[in-house]
């Protein structure tokens, strides 16, 4: 059935005079490539573009709420501080989370590198290591949320100042959801690499596509860290 659809599309495409449009229809019908880029990579870029707009809206709304409120804005350094012995260290947990997530970009890059070298063992190793770092990040975020909730923080109120500060839960929660999905994707691709599925299908680009998503998640965190925790 798929072959017949592709043949019919090719026949219709042969009647089109524009070579560019004819090639586009041929690529689309074969479900392989368009504009010299695989469909999986093209669709991931489109998804990331749409996600950029969503995160951009969240950050813009947060900044607008912060500059428009007349109530005192909580000091993030104090709210997210942790005690080390008797010393209160501002943003300690957030700093550790940031280092972990940025480090995971390095392990992800190594996974992509070894994937294209057809090194199954090292590809699997670095995929699993990246997933472990991501899971650690999510676990630390869960600890952070638990601490704040026990201290009385809610999305609509908090004991430190302006209630709009509760946007923290929406912003970091949406990002945490992305990291959690990314961990699942990495585990699936790691299992495929371990079983040799990527070798049999000659589709090591799956690792690169997963890497695009993961690097995007890391980049978004840099903006959240700068605009929410440091501002």
- Per-residue model confidence (pLDDT) at position 25: 65
In this structure, CATH architecture of domain 38-230: Up-down Bundle (1.20)
For the entire predicted model, the pTM comes to 0.83
- Per-residue model confidence (pLDDT) at position 13: 44
- Per-residue model confidence (pLDDT) at position 32: 52
| Residue ranges of domains in the chain | 1-31, 38-230
Question: Minimal CA–CA distance to 79: which of 95, 91, 87?
Answer: 91
Residues 6+ apart with CB under 8 A from 92: 81, 82, 84
Mark the ranges of the chain whose per-residue pLDDT is less than 70.
1-17, 23-36
Burial readout 217-226 (b: 16 or more C-beta within 10 A, e: otherwise): bbebbeebbe
Give tens-digit pLDDT for 180-223. Answer: 999 999 999 999 999 988 877 777 889 999 999 999 999 999 99
Cα–Cα dist 94/74, whole Å: 16
Q: Which string of DSSP letters, residue by residue, matches 178-204? A: HHHHHHHHHHHHHHHHHHTHHHHHT-T
Question: Minimal CA–CA distance to 80: which of 170, 177, 158, 135?
Answer: 158
Question: Can you read off the two tokens belonging to residue 146?
Answer: 């638990």
Give tens-digit pLDDT for 212-222. Answer: 999 999 999 99
């Amino acid at each position: 059935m798929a072959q017949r659809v592709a043949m019919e599309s090719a026949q219709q495409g042969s009647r089109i005079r524009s070579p560019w449009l004819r090639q586009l229809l041929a690529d689309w019908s074969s479900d392989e490539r368009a504009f010299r880029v695989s469909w999986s990579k093209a669709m991931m870029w489109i998804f990331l573009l749409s996600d950029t707009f969503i995160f951009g809206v969240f950050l813009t709304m947060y900044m607008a709420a912060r500059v428009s409120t007349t109530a005192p804005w909580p000091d993030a350094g104090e709210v997210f501080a942790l005690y080390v012995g008797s010393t209160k260290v501002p943003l300690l947990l957030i700093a550790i989370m940031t280092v972990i997530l940025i480090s995971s970009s390095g392990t992800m890059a190594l996974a992509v590198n070894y994937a294209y070298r057809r090194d199954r063992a090292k590809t699997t190793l670095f995929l699993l290591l990246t997933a472990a770092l991501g899971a650690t990040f999510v676990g630390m975020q869960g600890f952070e949320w638990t601490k704040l909730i026990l201290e009385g923080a809610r999305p609509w109120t908090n004991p430190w100042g302006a209630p709009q500060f509760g946007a923290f839960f929406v912003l970091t929660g949406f990002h945490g959801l992305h990291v959690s999905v990314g961990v699942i994707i990495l585990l699936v691709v790691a299992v495929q690499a371990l079983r040799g599925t990527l070798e049999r299908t000659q589709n090591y680009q799956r690792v690169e596509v997963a890497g695009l998503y993961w690097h995007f998640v890391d980049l978004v965190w840099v903006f959240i860290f700068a605009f929410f925790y440091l501002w």
